[in-house]
C-alpha cells in the first residue's frame, strides 16, 4: 500500500455560481489564447466557456455548479470523481487548478497543479506531434514513429494521450487533474492510462480524475467521490 504524503489540494466550503444565458465571447478561442499568451494559457478559461461568474445577490437566473464542497487530496493519492452531467465535476477541477475563482469558499494548494481539460485540441497547437509534446512525450503517449503526424489527423484517443503528455511536460506537480481523460479510448489504452496514473501517484502527485466511466474509475482509484446536485456529496472510503 502506498503511503500518503502532505496535502496537495484542500477545499473548504467551496461554491461556484454562474449566470444563466450569459453572452458568449465569439471573437476569441482558447486555442488563440494559448498561442497569444503561452505563459498563462488557461487564465481566461471561464470567460471563454461562455458562462459568467455571478457574485452579486442571490436572485435572478443563476445556477450553482458546485456548492458547500469540502475535501482534501494528499500527495500520492488517486481519487476518482464521478457524477452525472451537471454535477460539478469539471467545475471542481477548474477551481482546484485555479483557472476559475470560487463564488465562496477557498482552495489551498501544496504546489503546482496540472489540469487536462476535456478538449485535447486546447493543448495541441502545432503542426506536428513532436512540436507539442517533444520526443519523450510522443513515446509516452504510445505514438512512437509518428512524431511528424499532425495532431488533427490522430484519433480522439491518441489526441487525448498526446495532450496529457503536453500537460505533464512542466512537472513535477503536487497534483494532476484529469477531466474525462478516457474519451475516445479503447480498453487497452484505458489500461495504459491507468498505469500512467499509477506512475504519477508513485512520483508523489495527487491524481484526481473526473469521469463518467465508473468501471474505469473502479480500476485505479483508491477513493471515489460521488458528486451530486448542489451540496450532495458521498465519499467512499479507500479501497486499498
The residue-averaged pLDDT of 7-33 equals 72
Rounded CA-CA distance 236/123 in Å is 33
Residue 229 is predicted with a pLDDT of 52
What integer pLDDT is reported at residue 172 of this predicted model?
87
* Cβ–Cβ under 8 Å, residues 90 and 179: yes
pLDDT score, position 157: 85
Q: Give the pLDDT score at 73.
A: 94
Long-range contacts of 20-23 (CB under 8 A, 24+ apart): 20/61, 20/62, 20/63, 21/61, 22/50, 22/51, 22/52, 23/50
Q: Tens digit of pLDDT for each residue in 130-142?
A: 999 999 999 989 8
Q: Is the pLDDT of residue 26 over 60?
A: no
Cβ contact 33:119 at 8 Å? no
Complete DSSP assignment for the chain: -PPP-SEEEEEEEEEEEEETTPPP--S--HHHHHHH-TTSTTTTHHHHTT-EE--S-S-SSEEEEEEEEEEEEETT-EEEEE--TTSSHHHHHHHHHTSS--SEEEEEESS-EEEE-S-GGGT--SSSHHHHHHHHHHHHTT-TT-TT--GGGS-HHHHHHHHHHHHHTT---SEEEEESTTTT--HHHHHHHHHHHHHHHHTT-EEEEE-S-HHHHHHH-SEEEEE-STT-EEEEPP--
Residue 179: pLDDT over 90:
yes
Q: Mean pLDDT in the chain?
A: 81
Q: Would the pLDDT of 50 be above 80?
A: no
- The whole-model pTM stands at 0.77
Percentage with pLDDT > 70 across the chain? 77
Residues 6 or more apart whose CB falls under 8 angstroms from that of 215 comprise none
Q: What is the mean predicted confidence (pLDDT) over 224-231?
A: 71
Q: Confidence class of residue 156 from pLDDT cuts 50, 70 and 90?
A: confident
The arithmetic mean of pLDDT across residues 59-78, rounded, is 87
Amino acid at each position: 500500500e502506498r503511503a500518503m504524503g502532505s496535502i496537495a489540494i484542500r477545499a473548504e466550503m467551496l461554491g461556484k455560481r454562474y449566470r444563466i444565458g450569459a453572452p458568449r465571447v465569439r471573437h476569441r478561442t482558447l486555442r488563440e489564447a494559448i498561442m497569444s499568451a503561452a505563459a498563462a494559457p488557461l487564465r481566461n478559461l471561464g470567460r471563454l466557456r461562455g458562462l459568467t461568474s455571478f457574485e452579486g445577490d442571490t436572485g435572478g437566473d443563476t445556477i450553482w455548479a458546485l456548492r458547500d464542497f469540502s475535501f482534501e487530496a494528499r500527495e500520492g493519492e488517486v481519487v476518482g470523481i464521478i457524477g452525472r452531467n451537471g454535477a460539478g465535476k469539471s467545475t471542481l477541477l477548474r477551481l482546484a487548478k485555479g483557472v476559475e475563482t470560487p463564488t465562496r469558499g477557498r482552495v489551498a494548494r501544496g504546489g503546482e497543479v496540472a489540469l487536462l481539460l476535456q478538449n485535447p485540441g486546447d493543448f495541441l497547437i502545432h503542426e506536428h506531434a513532436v512540436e507539442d509534446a517533444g520526443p519523450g512525450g510522443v513515446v509516452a503517449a504510445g505514438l512512437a514513429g509518428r512524431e511528424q503526424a499532425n495532431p488533427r489527423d490522430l484519433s480522439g484517443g491518441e489526441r487525448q494521450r498526446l495532450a496529457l503528455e503536453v500537460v505533464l511536460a512542466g512537472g513535477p506537480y503536487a497534483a494532476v487533474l484529469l477531466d474525462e481523460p478516457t474519451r475516445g479510448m479503447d480498453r487497452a489504452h484505458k489500461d495504459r492510462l491507468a498505469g500512467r496514473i499509477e506512475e504519477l501517484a508513485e512520483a508523489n502527485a495527487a491524481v484526481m480524475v473526473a469521469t463518467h466511466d465508473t468501471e474505469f474509475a473502479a480500476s485505479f482509484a483508491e477513493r471515489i467521490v460521488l458528486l451530486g446536485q448542489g451540496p450532495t456529496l458521498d465519499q467512499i472510503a479507500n479501497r486499498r
